[in-house]
Amino acid sequence: MSLLKPFSKLPGLNTANILLVEGEEQFQQSLADALVEETAFTVNVRLAKSLPLPLENEESRPRIDLVVFIINLTSELSFQSAEASLKYLDPGYFLGKVCFMVTNARNASVPTEQLDAVRKLAASLHCPLLFAEDQTPDGVTNAAERLMTILKVAAGLVPMATSLYLSSLTRCTVPLDIDQPSFE
């Protein structure tokens, strides 16, 4: 099994590498454009539809500092593809180098079970869960900024902070009454 390993390559100088995994390949494009605008350091973005990543790129691929799974709540397929891709990540990534980003959470047609399922998944893996609005340029910029905060720590560019430390503060928690029926 070709696992993606977090520490098997040397890091680049003043660079941060991020991998965006999205089944639908829509939001990742605009998010990538917003992420590379960072000027303080170089950001390299890799886009993928799902894991495992093709072996041909193994040599040229830099060390990935942060893996972001983008899940569209309106599509069941999106969630299943993200879940299936999780198997191909080395467990070392789950110490703060994986993040979940969810779009369309405000959509009225999304059943609450869908969001609960994503929450439970993120909580069980101790990863942060971010919500993003992908239709407007402002939403994209905001999502990119929040990702950048986590990316800087994961790439080691913030002194005195490691991604494991940050993840213990930002990880998703599931409220105890998540399985109770809600009265909305």
Which residues in this chain contact another protein in the complex, by CB under 8 A? 19, 24-26, 29, 32-33, 36, 42-49, 53-54, 56-57, 61, 77
33 or 90: whose CB is closer to another protein? 33
Q: How far is the CB of 44 from another protein (least distance, A)?
A: 5
46 or 146: whose CB is closer to another protein? 46
Query: H-type helices in 16-136, by residue range?
Result: 27-35, 76-85, 112-124
Q: How far is the CB of 49 from another protein (least distance, A)?
A: 6
Q: How far is the CB of 151 from another protein (least distance, A)?
A: 13
Per-position b or e across 81-106, b if 16+ CB within 10 A of its CB? bbeebbeebeeebbebbbbbbbbbbe
97 or 119: whose CB is closer to another protein? 97
